[in-house]
Structure 1
Amino acid sequence: MPERNHSSVTEFILTGFPGLHQEYYGLVSAVLFFVYLITLIANATVIFLFATNHSLHKPMYYIILNLSVCDILFSTTTLPKIISRYWFQSGSISFTACFIQMYFVHYLGSVNSFILFQMALDRYLAICYPFRYSLVLTKSNILILSITAWIISKAFPLMMVIRAYPLPYCASNIITHCFCDHIGITVLTCTDRTPYATPAFTAAMVVLLGPLAFIIFSYCSILIAVYKIANVQGRLKSLSTCSTQLIIISLYFLPRCFVYLAQNVGITFSADVRIVIIMLYSLAPPMINPLIYCLRAKDMRESLLKQFCKRIVPRKAQVAAISNS
């Protein structure tokens, strides 16, 4: 049974990047604000394009829609607080708010992992079983998979919060991180964290390595299927259809795997380097993903150009009418 919470801590302090000099606070907050702004605009554009273009109502774009919503929510959960840390020198966060942030950080991370699993499934069926694709990945099936991902992802983060919240926090209240996560909080307890850390680590590995195992299998199968295509142009076309998703998946999983492997094989690096790596794999993909869709996905690119032309042509017509009058 967890111990009763006799914590003397009423709030936590987020350090952000521990070694950062105060003279760079303004620059860092401006960069983080720019990242947040681009993330919101880019992902909102994807959602807008999906809502206004019926041609995008395909299984792959339903998956991308879920990813964009998840990316907006994750960035909104993490970035505003760390921006205020450097912009207004306000790094404090209340005890309860920290756990709420911790829940959403791990929850949305889990959702993201399952959405990338769906992406791999989409390409696997499209290339390895093209004649069954439209029968298996229907809109209703994608909707069921998406809802399932959002629901089952609640379990592990909720378990983490329920077990960590009642622990006694009577030591330091300084979290060496840019946001509240399970490790950053539980290292501050006044009790042995092993009984709480081991289940949390196991859950994280299941959520991370489970989808990753299928993703590796699916792309190996895709490479084998593409190799069997006699036509070189056909090979390139098949590879091109999954290259976008492979880039997105690599941005999400590879840095995470590096951090986990480094911790387990004894590779150590400074707190600043660790936080920079975590921030890169947490915040870069939500900002970059929509740009990759619009540049690589033909339907998305055409929808974006169509919306752009709709805005430009009426303006030109209006200018011409004014000049003729």
Structure 2
Amino acid sequence: MAEGNHSIVTEFILTGFPGLHPEYQGLAAAVLFLVYFLTLTGNATFLFLFATDCKLHKPMYYIILNLSVCDILFSTTTLPKIISKYWFQSGNISFTACFVQMYLVHYLGTVNSYILFIMALDRYLAICHPLRYPLVLKNSTIHILSVGAWIIAKAGPLMLVIRAYPLPYCASNIINHCYCDHIGITTLACTDRAPYGFPAFVLAMFMLLGPLAFIIFSYCSIIITVLNIANLQGRLKSLSTCSTQLVIISLYYLPRCFVYLASNVGIEFNADMRIVIIMLYSLFPPMINPCIYCLRAKDMRESLWQQLNKRTVLNKIHILSISGK
């Protein structure tokens, strides 16, 4: 059908979870709001501890700082709109806003992948080359790598938006997802998607599997190095220094790899199951990451308890000063 015979799309409608019964929409909004609140609270707590405790100004925590900022931005990009859909029945998003959200989703996902690459590099040098670690991976080096990650990550998602934005969008404007992404938008275009979908898939694989390849190499090297340590206590100590990062990396990559693998071997999910899986691997890590590195990292635990004890002492002094009046 000729492009001129279609009505031009001016806004999109996010379906969220298509099979969700209306009576559960309030519950879904409450759960998503709780996830958003915990994500903001956990990551903001780390940012506060980092800003107030100079002992945390080490390469590893500068990496986690970037991860926290990225997690806050990603959750803020995706969650408020879908929460408003279920709480206020506001699922409409303007044409331009949808593309802005698409860009931010893919951009922040790419930054996250690059930050995890830097995290694996940090552990690789710390365990496999401990003598060179303080010389190679200084705070200044982490700053350069982190800024580079935020800048380089812009190119791929920007290319996706530039290629997808001018396409003719007509007829259906319903996106079966909780937020705008490249697949959800371009499948609505009144044109052959193959010339746009395949390059986007290749780019996604490069951004995902490129860092993942080094991460796998680094942790294989770490395991070999640890196994060569004769002292059992030394092995356990070396493994404990990278266990936190390994958990965070696993939460990010394993579900994504499962979804990509399942789609390529013919395993199909219904729309709701697919969206639930995507939302889990997109939103669960930002929420749980602060708990992981706060509970596992000794410096973080000490800094957190120090702040809590300080607050307790200040509250007691305040109460005593009031009672003494």
Q: Smaller-chain TM-score range?
A: over 0.9
Q: Distance in 2 between matches of 1:176 and 1:246?
A: 32
1:144-201 Cα offsets, whole Å, 9 max, x none, are 0000000000000000000000000113100000000000000011100100111111
Contact 1:15 1:174 in 2 (8 A): yes
- CA displacement at 1:315 relative to structure 2: 1.2
Unaligned segments of structure 2, at least 5 residues: none
Other-structure match for 1:39: 39
Other-structure match for 1:52: 52
Q: Against the structure 1 CA distance between its residues 34 and 192, is the aligned structure 2 distance closer, same or farther, given a 3 Å change threshold?
A: same
Other-structure match for 1:124: 124
Aligned residue type for 1:214: F
Q: Which 4+ runs in 1 deviate beyond 4 A?
A: 321-325
Report 1:220-259 matches (<5 A): 220-259=220-259
Q: Distance in 2 between matches of 1:53 and 1:324?
A: 33
Contact 1:82 1:179 in 2 (8 A): yes
Other-structure match for 2:108: 108
Contact 1:11 1:173 in 2 (8 A): yes
Match of 1:131, SS? coil
1:215-273 Cα offsets, whole Å, 9 max, x none, are 00000000000001111111111111101000000000000001111111111010100
Other-structure match for 1:88: 88
Q: Distance in 1 between matches of 2:80 and 2:318?
A: 40
Q: Distance in 2 between matches of 1:252 and 1:314?
A: 39
Q: Against the structure 1 CA distance between its residues 7 and 133, is the aligned structure 2 distance closer, same or farther, given a 3 Å change threshold?
A: farther
Does 1:301 pair with 2:297?
no
1:3-27 Cα offsets, whole Å, 9 max, x none, are 99x8710000000000000000110
| Count of matched residue positions in the alignment of Structure 1 and Structure 2 | 322
- CA displacement at 1:323 relative to structure 2: 4.3
Q: Distance in 2 between matches of 1:321 and 1:47?
A: 31
Q: Distance in 2 between matches of 1:171 and 1:296?
A: 51
Contact 1:43 1:68 in 2 (8 A): yes
Aligned residue type for 1:279: M
Other-structure match for 1:28: 28
Match of 1:267, SS? coil
Q: Distance in 2 between matches of 1:264 and 1:172?
A: 27
TM-align CA RMSD? 1.3
Aligned residue type for 1:272: D
Q: Distance in 1 between matches of 2:144 and 2:108?
A: 18
Q: Distance in 1 between matches of 2:229 and 2:320?
A: 53
Aligned residue type for 2:180: C
Unaligned segments of structure 1, at least 5 residues: none
Report 1:275-294 matches (<5 A): 275-294=275-294
Does 1:154 pair with 2:180?
no
Contact 1:62 1:142 in 2 (8 A): yes
Q: Distance in 2 between matches of 1:275 and 1:136?
A: 42
Other-structure match for 1:182: 182
Q: Distance in 1 between matches of 2:7 and 2:238?
A: 57
Other-structure match for 2:134: 134
Does 1:173 pair with 2:173?
yes
Contact 1:7 1:168 in 2 (8 A): no
Match of 1:93, SS? strand
Other-structure match for 2:210: 210
Q: Distance in 2 between matches of 1:51 and 1:268?
A: 46
1:67-92 Cα offsets, whole Å, 9 max, x none, are 00000000000000000010001100
Q: Distance in 1 between matches of 2:244 and 2:155?
A: 30
- CA displacement at 1:320 relative to structure 2: 3.4
Contact 1:14 1:176 in 2 (8 A): yes
1:112-156 Cα offsets, whole Å, 9 max, x none, are 000000110000000000000000101111000000000000000
Q: Distance in 2 between matches of 1:313 and 1:98?
A: 49
Other-structure match for 2:315: 315
Q: Distance in 2 between matches of 1:217 and 1:182?
A: 30
Q: Distance in 2 between matches of 1:183 and 1:304?
A: 42
Other-structure match for 2:193: 193
Q: Distance in 2 between matches of 1:317 and 1:237?
A: 40
Higher mean Cα deviation, 310-319 or 60-69? 310-319
- CA displacement at 1:319 relative to structure 2: 2.5
**Structure-2-length-normalised TM-score:** 0.97
What is the identity percentage for the equivalent residue pairs of Structure 1 and Structure 2?
A: 77
